[in-house]
Structure 1
Amino acid sequence: MKPAAVAFYGAAVGLLAVGLRELLTGFEENRCSMTYMFEYPEYRRVALPRRVARLYPAYGLYLYGEGVYAQETRALKLTGTPVLFLPGNAGSYKQARSLGSVALRKAENMDGGMHLNVFTVDFNEELVALYGGSLVRQTHFLHECIKAILRLYKHLKTPPQSVALVGHSMGGVVARALFTLPRFNPHLVSLIITQASPHMAPVLALDPYLLGEPNLQLVQNVGV
């Protein structure tokens, strides 16, 4: 066997040995931590118009609550500021727990009665980062959810006219894609906060939807 081949195979075996050693012994400290819970979280489903429910049977809209607050909002007579959480690729609507729980604890320590009503969207844990066609459905469903949320405040003298959006990963892309819808009123959204969202380009460009064809414009070239 030639010396070059021996050196190559030797280097390959060496790298394999290092990889196995790291796999078997290289355990790192878990630096990811969740917020502590003092009360049991609840997710109250918000009824949507029959037309919307028929069009999007796999999706859902929920209001986060816990403890006394969950009991007080059982009838969905809300008085706070609406915030809507959007999960990302294969994400669960229950990821809104940290945001909702911390917001509730903060509100309890503030004077003036200001508080957030945290809603969350169930996108059925779709792999939207792998199939961009889901972006279309999720964007239209999000539009319907915003309108449904604002209707819950019609009993107030001065109801809120907009919703703040918090999007994780692809949820942030869906939030921005709202502004490409022809009939969307941009005044319905007062703030967008995104976390680790691929705004510049998709992580995997697997289909024309993710690449952002001119007639779709759901991923790239979206301006707010």
Structure 2
Amino acid sequence: MGLLNYNFDWGLLWHAPYGAMLLGGIWTTIHLSLCAWCMAVIIGIIIGVLRVVPHRGWRLAGTLYVQIFRNTPLLVHLFFWYFAAPLLLSETLQQWLYDNVGDYAYYAGVMGLGTYTASRVAEQFRAGFLSIPKGQYSAAYATGLRTVQVYRFVIVPHALRIILPSFTTEFLTCFKNSALTMTICVMETTHAAYYIDSFTWHGLETTTAASVVYLVLSGCVILIMGWVEKRLRIGGRVGRGAM
């Protein structure tokens, strides 16, 4: 009976100010995901390298990072960066943070999502590094390159092309995980839809709109990923199109 009596209003989101709210949430989702992904790739490559270098201490450090960040829920990371991390600072720094960083929740979301995703990216790169023949490492060192240069110019580019299908899929996961930042008050797509619903009591329309947004953006990401994979795929390797 409740559904039969429901007053559908699919044009609700075209009315001010709700349309602007949803568009703002979509834009926040996009740039938050991109910032978190860039952080995840940079940290992930570093941790992935630490996981395979001969030095036992560096391998231990990389392993600890992966085990800590990968084996705890993303929600815990978001809560840590939003609620707990500021408490580790001095009172002066805490006051400066709250007075001068107007959208701290956004930066906490980027840090939480980025550091969490980095642990997953690191394992993908580790798998890529281990799949490269040892002879390629020896050949790179034989040219006179130092360890950092070997990984920067030879090993990382090769490993990236090997792990490309799973690597690009991880970006899609990062993009979808950004919805959890609503729990720390980031006004992304999901939170914007929830916020509009709290004013209009039209949750069916708002959640449907948010779902459509995620489907469209995810479809665009998949198309871009497919194009990148075709451009960079190594011949003889399994790609997304071959599966």
Is TM > 0.5 for Structure 1 vs Structure 2? Answer: no
For normalisation by structure 2, the TM-score amounts to 0.28
Greater share of helix residues, 1 or 2? 2
Instruction: Compare the two structures and name the one with the higher strand fraction.
Output: 1
